[in-house]
A and B are shown apart, each in its own frame.
Chain A
Amino acid sequence: MSNRPLVMAAHDLGALFGVLADDGYEVLGPTVHDGAIVIEAITQPSQLPRGWGDAQEPGSYRLVERGDGAYFGFAAPAGTWKRHLFEPRAVLWRSRRDGDGVVFEPGEHVRRRRAFLGIRGCDLAAIAVQDRVFCGSPAKSGSGSPRRSADPVYGAKREGILFIGINCSDPASTCFCTSMGTGPAIGERADLSLTELDPALPDQHRFLVHATTDRGRAIAARMNLAVATDRDLASATAVRDGAIASMGRSMDTEDLPARLREAAEDPRWDDVARRCLSCGNCTMACPTCFCADVSDQPDVAAGVDERVREWASCFQLDHSYLHGGSVRVSTKARYRQWMTHKLSTWWDQFGVSGCVGCGRCITFCPVGIDITEEVRAIRASKSVPLEEGTAETGEKGHSR
């Protein structure tokens, strides 16, 4: 019985919050703020986006009333979990003048017990990607701390998170997680995975609960949940199949890293550069983008110098600045850097794709540039490889 899925009535979500609070967890989850679903600290089910869905299109994000009681009936939230792990601004360390010396102080290393409630497959995959960037190795989901905490600031935030995932039921028109192999099902990547069933039927509104780690099982055990029936399992399967069927977009990833490597001079980059504003929205919305400025922010009068890491974007002109000028001056070069990094050179650096298929870059691009369409266009293009020497394909076994 231990691994048999359980079932939890929707009105028992409050009890789940109670168990988490009793265990000292700060719960982060989706909530409506300023007309968008964002990720914030929440303490009760009423703060969840109940009854809200979203309509996401290239360059457009709108909340829509679903007309039912679903708590998680939306796609990738406008806000990312990223900002709670790799924060938009973090003080890495501080140094203070002290007589003839300098005293070092640590930055913000607030360690809290945190639960990420309602995280979906794409975003779990995104965290696994950033673990590779900041921890040097994938952190085992649910096992607590990453194996090697190369970046102590990220590591402190990342450590010990309890993941309560949600199998996505309502992908947006901009979603393509199935193409990237990151969703909609979360499988065993969370401590507890939920599937929301029958939100339109108040007396049957419930969650299928699958505990896949000891921590997850311990929490489920305290909630006295019933064992799921075959009907519950069939409903959950229908939710998953429905999500797959309604996936709005797709991307052909076959041999894509090599294809992009060969496409450095493709005329399509000129085409996208005519539309791209170089605003960097895609990089801010992206759950895996990790570029940052690392700088000193001194208060000389107070004798304090802070080493600060702040989100940066490869779309900024000064991102590639060297004395005398920037390497990537044109929008074409900056867009090419972003997209080829995401889909090609990320593999060289981290052994995974930098894109998880959440579609946020499409939704939050003010001019609606669609990465799946750009990939299609590059694939269709007749551009010739630069040189014989660079034309070898598949050398690193890049295809998934």
Chain B
Amino acid sequence: MRPVLYTVTSAKREMASTMTITLEPPRQVGIGQTGAAEPGAAQVGIAQTGVAQPGAAEPGAAQGLVPIAPGQFNMLWSWGVGEAPISASQSGLDGALVHTVRDVGGVTKALCAKQPGDVVGVRGPFGRGWDIDTARGQDLIVVGGGIGLAPLRPVVHTILASRSDFGRVALVVGARSAAELLFRSELDCWWRDRAITVRTIVDRPSRDWHGSIGIVTNELPRLEIDPGRTVVMVCGPEVMMRFVALNLIERGVAPEAIQVSLERNMQCAVGQCGHCQLAGYFLCRDGPVLTWEVARPLLEVREL
């Protein structure tokens, strides 16, 4: 499966090592090739034509991939470097993709260096994202740690777009320091709007930090919880997710009501390369979001 060539339309620096890039799908200019079929070379001009997906062949129409859902990911490709799995940090857009990338290796470094006009190859969307529907009519706690907030941002957007479908909603965000709080201005907006409860906590406070200090689990006791009607979505370091889940289970939340997004080495994204296996699950296909009920016995085994 080949990437579809998207064009970077904006590249926003979130913090020292993290960028948010917006990608526009290629436009069909009447070549009429549907490049999803493998044989035969496909001429692809940057920003003009692309490897089209079946079913979208009108000239001038966007030739993008199917819309990505909150919690799903795309394989983003930098020519000559490679691919990395990156979840969507915004969804529901008309063809455009938004991904927030932290520079932690060769491919992510190349992605973070992209500028408007540059091309990024995209395969996807892959995996199973957040089950937002189970949260409708329920209370929802969204917990993000560090870059883990990125795949949860589309969840918040979805809630705000139909706020009355949900009960009480709390967003708890943890970061090492205030400077490393992702989407800080957006967090401020949400906090001011009061449509949802927003709580931030850092464990390395600077002098001008007036908020909570500690790790996200320290912030959870401050939330009022009705455990019987609470759905939880967590993304962050595995150890953080474990303690968030344990903390909320102690307060009566059911393990199946807690969703976590797991990370493993992913290369093919279609359940064939074997790298992302967690017991019987291919996390690229069966995840990355699993319920805590499913994930807990697997994560409790060291090095599984």
Which among B40, B83, B272, B302 has the highest number of chain A CB atoms within 10 Å? B272
Asked if B297 contacts A102 (CB within 8 A), the reply is no
A348 CB within 8 Å of chain B? yes
Residues from chain B with a CB closer than 8 A to the CB of A332 are: 303
Taking A323-B104, A337-B277 as contacts, is the C-beta distance between A104 and B272 under 8 angstroms? Answer: no
The answer, yes or no, to whether B301 is at the interface (CB within 8 Å) is yes
In the complex, A293→B39 CA distance in Å?
23
B280 lies within 8 A of A292 (CB)? no
- Check if A264 sits within 8 Å of B301, measured CB to CB: yes
**Could you mark each residue 284-307 of chain A with 1 if its beta carbon is under 8 Å from any beta carbon of chain B, else 0?**
000000111111101010000100
**Given A292-B272, A312-B274, A327–B264 Cβ distance below 8 Å?**
yes
Q: B225 on the interface (CB 8 Å rule)?
A: no
B40 neighbours in A (Cβ, 8 Å): 106
Per a CB cutoff under 8 Å, which of A298, A309, A314, A322 touches B263? A322
Cβ 8 A contact of A386, one of B41, B45, B300 = B300
Distance, CA A349 to CA B282, complexed state (A): 8
Find residues 342-377 in chain A having any chain B CB closer than 8 Å to their own CB: 344-345, 347-349
Candidates B42, B265, B272, B282; contact of A134 at CB < 8 Å: B272
How many Å lie between the Cα of A387 and that of B255 in the bound state?
A: 15
Shortest Cβ gap from A234 to chain B (Å): 45
Q: How far is the CA of A141 from the CA of B39 in the complex (A)?
A: 25
B273 A104 Cβ-Cβ under 8 A: no
Q: What residues of B have a CB within 8 angstroms of the CB of A106 in the complex?
A: 38-41
Which among B57-65, B74-82, B203-211 touches the partner chain?
Answer: B74-82
A-B contact count (CB 8 A): 128
Q: How large is the interface on A (under 10, 10 to 19, 20 to 34, 35 or more residues)?
A: 35 or more
Within 8 A of A (CB), among B26-44: 35, 38-44
Please report which residues of chain A, range 236-293, place their CB below 8 angstroms from some CB of chain B when the two chains form the complex.
261, 264-265, 290-293
Q: Kindly list chain A residues whose C-beta atoms are within 8 Å of the C-beta of B81.
A: 296, 298
Min CB–CB distance A299 → chain B (angstroms):
9
Residue of B nearest to A330 (CB): B303
Secondary structure type dominating chain B contacts: loop
User: In the bound complex, what is the Cα–Cα distance between A103 and B293 (angstroms)?
Assistant: 46
Give Cα distance in the complex from A109 to B104, angstroms.
35
Whole-angstrom distance between the Cβ of A276 and the nearest chain B Cβ? 14
Interface residues of B in 42-61 (CB under 8 A from A): 42-46, 48, 51
B268 to nearest A CB, angstroms? 5
Q: Is the CB of B263 within 8 A of A104?
A: no
B244 interface residue (CB < 8 Å to A) = no
**A386 lies within 8 A of B272 (CB):** no
Cross-interface CB contact of A152 among B5, B35, B38, B281, cutoff 8 Å: B38
- Interface positions of B (Cβ within 8 A of A): 2, 5, 35, 38-46, 48, 51, 77, 79-83, 104-105, 119, 263-265, 267-268, 270-275, 277, 279-282, 297, 300-304
Binding site for B on A (CB under 8 A): 93, 95, 97-98, 100-106, 109, 133-134, 150-152, 261, 264-265, 290-296, 298, 300, 305, 309, 312, 314, 319-324, 327-330, 332-333, 336-337, 340-341, 344-345, 347-349, 386-387, 389-390
Q: List 16 A-B contacts (CB under 8 A).
A: A101-B46, A134-B272, A264-B301, A290-B274, A291-B273, A292-B267, A292-B268, A293-B275, A294-B273, A296-B77, A330-B303, A337-B304, A345-B277, A345-B279, A347-B280, A387-B297
Nearest 7 CB-CB pairings of A with B: A348-B280, A291-B274, A333-B303, A323-B104, A345-B280, A294-B267, A101-B45
